[in-house]
Amino acid sequence: MIKISAYDPLLVLATNEVKNDLKIILNDI
Protein backbone atom coordinates (compact mmCIF):
# COMPACT_ATOMS: atom_id res chain seq x y z
CA MET A 1 0.00 0.00 0.00
CA ILE A 2 1.30 3.40 -0.97
CA LYS A 3 1.96 5.66 1.99
CA ILE A 4 0.26 9.02 1.56
CA SER A 5 -0.03 11.90 3.97
CA ALA A 6 -3.22 11.62 6.00
CA TYR A 7 -3.83 15.25 5.13
CA ASP A 8 -3.73 14.61 1.37
CA PRO A 9 -7.04 16.17 0.16
CA LEU A 10 -7.51 13.54 -2.55
CA LEU A 11 -6.98 10.73 -0.05
CA VAL A 12 -9.49 12.32 2.33
CA LEU A 13 -12.07 12.66 -0.46
CA ALA A 14 -11.51 9.09 -1.62
CA THR A 15 -11.83 7.76 1.93
CA ASN A 16 -15.06 9.70 2.47
CA GLU A 17 -16.49 8.33 -0.78
CA VAL A 18 -15.68 4.77 0.28
CA LYS A 19 -17.28 5.35 3.69
CA ASN A 20 -20.41 6.73 2.01
CA ASP A 21 -20.56 3.73 -0.34
CA LEU A 22 -20.28 1.35 2.60
CA LYS A 23 -23.07 3.15 4.44
CA ILE A 24 -25.33 2.87 1.38
CA ILE A 25 -24.53 -0.83 0.98
CA LEU A 26 -25.17 -1.52 4.67
CA ASN A 27 -28.45 0.41 4.54
CA ASP A 28 -29.60 -1.68 1.56
CA ILE A 29 -29.13 -4.95 3.43
Measured CA distances, 2 to 5, 10, 11, 16, 19 (Å): 10, 14, 11, 18, 19
- pLDDT at residue 10, as a whole number: 78
Residues whose CB is less than 8 angstroms from the CB of residue 4 and which lie 6 or more positions away in sequence, other chains included: 11
Q: Is 11 a residue whose pLDDT tops 60?
A: yes
Q: Is 1 a residue whose pLDDT tops 60?
A: no
Residues 5-27: what's their mean pLDDT?
A: 83
Mean pLDDT of the chain: 80
Tell me the three-class secondary structure of 1-29, residue by residue: CCCCCCCCHHHHHHHHHHHHHHHHHHHHC
Q: Is 7 a residue whose pLDDT tops 70?
A: no
